[in-house]
Structure formats: structure tokens, C-alpha cells
A and B are shown apart, each in its own frame.
Chain A
Amino acid sequence: MISFIAQRIAKAIVVLLALVVLNFFLIRMAPGDPALVMAGEAGAGDQVFLAQLREKFGLDQPLPVQLFLYVKGILSLDLGFSFRQQMPVATLILQRLPATLLLTGTAFAISLGFGILFGALAARFAGTWADTAITVLALIFYATPLFWVALMAILLFSVAVDWLPSFGYESVGANYTGLAHVLDVAAHLVLPATTIGLFFMATYARMTRASMLEVNRLDFVKTARAKGLSDTVIQRRHVLRNALLPVVTLAGLQAGTLVGGAVLTETVFAWPGIGRLMYEALLQRDYNLLLGVFVVCSAMVLAFNLITDLVYRSVDPRIEFAS
């Protein structure tokens, strides 16, 4: 078990390094000479100033040395400098990270909870109108672009009926404290979290339904039926439990797609997270910041996948640990 965990962590570290190297080359591929960009931001620059900048940021070094410096920087959490925002990239990301974690965490919980519930209902009543309704709805939400759902949610709940705020993280200038603040943020959270949630809910509902129907065919379900257990008990205690494992695992491994959802929803709802930060970097062609956000997102997804993998192996005793 220990060696297995060590092996997994070692593998994750290798992937992380590969990611950093990829990021380095992407930055180098970005249009524009970084020294020229910096000089431009500073107002002006002659050849001497450019040379100074190149020396300061190691841009006059051969590529392998630059790569080494870059990796060294990342390991000490130095993600470079955003010249547009005049701040270190790491600081900018850290400021925005909590909002994104709150949003994606809530969306993940909503989608997994309701996805499993609806999927289980569809499987339990397979072939009835309830199953058809859930399946059709899931198909539709699965095919709907996230950014469009976000806009439709704004049209419905904040233009047609003014129920929910559609903009930002909290009411500007209200200065709520304590419980009022929590409720205010929660109200702002409803639309963006549900928007991301709907798409993933559709995915998880479809997976749960398929997985339950598959487990239903297994012999132990027949045994349970032969023992005279009621259908509800069989479905809840035996089928659902066994069907959930692959769903939850796949959900964990798909966490990376939540990042994409966050970029789109945060852009529409002006949610001050790293997805919105990525959009701002994109608009300003701030490549240092753009790639900084990219590498942080990827590292977080990597960590989440690792955790899912480890939890999965420890929860399911049927999986043998590869030595």
C-alpha cells in the first residue's frame, strides 16, 4: 500500500514537471519578445535598456538555462510577473483562488448529489415516463453550451423575474458582515454554481443510470431478489452502492473539466475567480498571467486526480495494489 502511494505520488510529480516544461515552451512560443513587451509597458526603451531587461530576467541565457531558471522559479512558487497588472502572477492567482474553489466546490457537490439522485430514479423506474423525462433532460443539458445556459439563467432569473443577482461575488457597497454576508454571497453563488452544475448533473445522471442498470444484471441482485428483499431495498442497498463507485471515481477524474466550466461561467457572471482572471489575461494578451493560471489549474487537477485515485483504491477492496 505504502509503495503504491509512493509510486503514485512519484508519477504525479513527473507529470507536474512535464507540465511545467510544456508551460515554459508555450510561454516562449507566445508572440512578442518579452523584453520588448516589458519595455513597452515601461513606456520606452533603447537597446541598452532592452539588454538590461534581458539580463535581469535571464532572457540572454541559452534555452536550457532559461528552462532551469523557470523550473526553479516555479518550485519556489514564483510564477513570473504580470506587467499589465503590475503584480506577481502568484499573488494575483492566490487572491482569486478562494472564489473559484467555492464556486467549483459547490457546483461539484450540486451536480454529484442531484446527478446521482436523478440517475438512480431513472434506473429505478426504467422504461417509465419518469425515466424518459430524466433521460431527455439529461441529453439536452449535456448538449447545451455552458456559457449559453449562464446567459439564459440571467435572462430568466434576473431580467424576467428579479430574484437573484447575476453579477459578482457580493453586493457592491453593502458591507454586510456575519450571517448577512454569508447569505449575500450565497445568493450570488446560486446562478453560477447551478449553471456549471446542470451540465455535470446531466453527465452524472447518465452515468449513474447506465451503471445501475449494469449492476442490476449481476447475479448477486438475483440472489437478493430470491431472498425476498423488496425492490426498493435491493435498489438502494445493493445496486446503488455498487453502481456508485465508478460514477464517483469518474467524477473525480473529470474534475479537470470543471476548470473549463469555471472560465466560462465566471466570465459571464463576473465571478472574481481564476477563471475570470484567465479571461482578463486573454483580453489583455497577458501571456505570463494566462500561463500562470493554466499551470496552477493543471496542478490542482493533478492533485485532485491523485486523491481520487488513492481514495478509490482504498474504498474498493476488489482492486489489487500493483507493487
Chain B
Amino acid sequence: MLLRNPGGMIGTAILTIAIAVALFGPLLFPTSPWRMVQRPFLPPFTLANLPLGTDALGRDVMAGIIYGARVSLLVGLISTLASLAVGIPLGAAAGYFGGKIDDALMRFTEFFQTVPSFALAIVLVAIMQPSIVSIVSAIAIVSWPPVARLVRGEVLSLRTREYVQAAVVTGQTNWWIIWREILPNALSPVIVLASLMVATAILLESSLSFLGLGDPNLMSWGYMVGAGRTVIRQAWWITVFPGIAILVSVLALNLIGEGLNDALNPRLAKGGR
């Protein structure tokens, strides 16, 4: 279904390549991306085995990008799953139970939507100390509110359907009804949102790493751009290539999100064009 949309097709192709690089790239580049392999500031396209040149410490830029793909995609995926794990139950409870529970949960959600998300993420990672766990948690903490609101809206409209009321009459428990009857029908907009959230999470992770809040043991694209920043006048390639990697992956995920949106919500798609 995604393949009928040209943007979605391009996005899927790019993402497939990125995933392949993340999975198999380190097999082709077995040397650690932290290792010095050549003289510092080797320009790109001069040596065949170092196509993208070396950075200020003589480390292979290409290897950095390949290892960085793992970090970016993994952080994007896990933090999105974590946001879903927080947002879906909260939103479902708010929409299903209504009343005071809904009020309380929605005020809580709005609070997290009001706080500037990137600033909160910076503060959280700084306090928890930079590590892959703190980065994923911080991104999840700032990204779950839209999920909760979306799921709440879906549940609100599904709750009154006859098949749900039938389930109530047959004496099913509330959580069983939410889990088995309502959520599966609310899934498609959540999938669209999730794919866009992975993109945002990758941007967030790279911004945090750029500011020096990345996991110090993992090579990431944001870290590479941040490290190359001070020498940008001498060595443009250290910042340019990792940035392109971020741009291309985020673009691919956004295209997939839009493609999924058109495919899963065909009515909206027709109106939008």
C-alpha cells in the first residue's frame, strides 16, 4: 500500500538502505570508528579506503557515519516505542473512563506539552548524565503527549460504538475491552504518528549529541557534527557528511509517515491534494 505513493516509496527505499547499513555496515568496517587510521584532516575522495576523509584526530568519517546509523536508528526506534508505552495507556484510560480521570490525565498531558521539549530534554539528560538510557528516556518523556491525545480522541469516538457496548454487556473487564476491542481499531493513526515520531527522535538525539550530551561510548552523527564544528573552516567534510546522513534518514521517515497517512486515511489524502 505504501508503494503506491511515490514519496513513501522513496522513503522506504532510503530507510531500507539505512537499516542495512546499520545492520551490516560494521561487518564491512570492522575497525572501531574511534580509532585513528590516517593523518588528521585528510580531505575526502583522496584515498579509496577512506572515501570521506578523516576528522581532526585522524578517525575515519565514513566509519563514523556507518556506526552512527546504529545509534540514530536505535535511539529513534526505542524512544518512540517508549513514548507509545506511556502515551497509549494514558490516552486510552482518559478516553475510556472519562470524567475526573480524563480531566486529571489531560491536565498532566497538557503540562508536558507546554514545557519547551528540547530544553526539558537537555535538562533531563544533563541531570541523569549522558548515556543511551538517559537519552532514550528524555526523548520519550518529551514526546509521549501527542500520542496520549491522539489515542484519547480515537477511544472517545470508538467507545460508543455498538460492538464495544456489546462487549460491556457481556461482562468483559474494562482493560480487556480497551486492549482487544478498542485499541486495534485505533491503530492506524497511531502508526502514522509513530513513524513521524521516529524522525523527530532522531533529530532530538542528534541535537543532544551535538551539544555534547550524547552517550560518550557511542559514535553518533550529532556528535560528529559537534566535533567538527570548531574546525569547520579548515575541514568542511567533517560536519557536512554526518549532517547529510541525518537529513536523509529523517526525510525518509517523514516521507514514509506521509505515505502511510495517505494509505491508511484515504479520505484525508484525497482532500489534501
Contact = CB atoms under 8 A, between A and B. Distances in A.
Contacts, number: 134
Would you call the interface of chain A mostly helix, strand, loop, or mixed? helix
B254 A139 contact: yes
Contacts of B117: 256-257, 260
Q: Which size bracket describes the interface of A in this complex? A: 35 or more
Interface in B210-267: 210-213, 222, 225-226, 229, 232-233, 236, 239-240, 243, 246-247, 250-251, 254-255
B126 interface: yes
B272 interface: yes
A15 B123 contact: no
B119 interface: yes
Q: Which size bracket describes the interface of B in this complex? A: 35 or more
A263 B114 contact: no
Nearest to B233: A159
B229 A260 contact: no
A59 B257 CA distance: 50
A151 B239 contact: yes
A145 B210 contact: yes
Nearest to A214: B271
A260 B233 CA distance: 25
A145 B116 contact: no
A282 interface: yes
Contacts of A151: 225, 229, 232, 239, 243
Given A263-B122, A278-B119, A282-B212, A31 B127 contact: yes
Contacts of A285: 126
A259 B116 contact: yes
B207 A278 contact: no
Interface of A: 15, 18-19, 22, 26, 29-31, 126-127, 139-140, 142-148, 151-152, 154-155, 159, 210, 213-214, 217, 256-257, 259-260, 263-264, 267-268, 278-279, 282-283, 285, 287, 290-291, 293-294, 297-298, 301-302, 305
22 contacts: A29-B127, A29-B128, A143-B247, A143-B251, A144-B243, A145-B206, A145-B222, A148-B225, A151-B225, A155-B239, A256-B115, A256-B117, A260-B117, A260-B118, A263-B211, A282-B122, A282-B211, A283-B212, A293-B119, A294-B123, A297-B116, A302-B114
Lowest 5 A-B CB distances belong to which pairs?
A260-B118, A148-B243, A143-B251, A143-B250, A256-B116
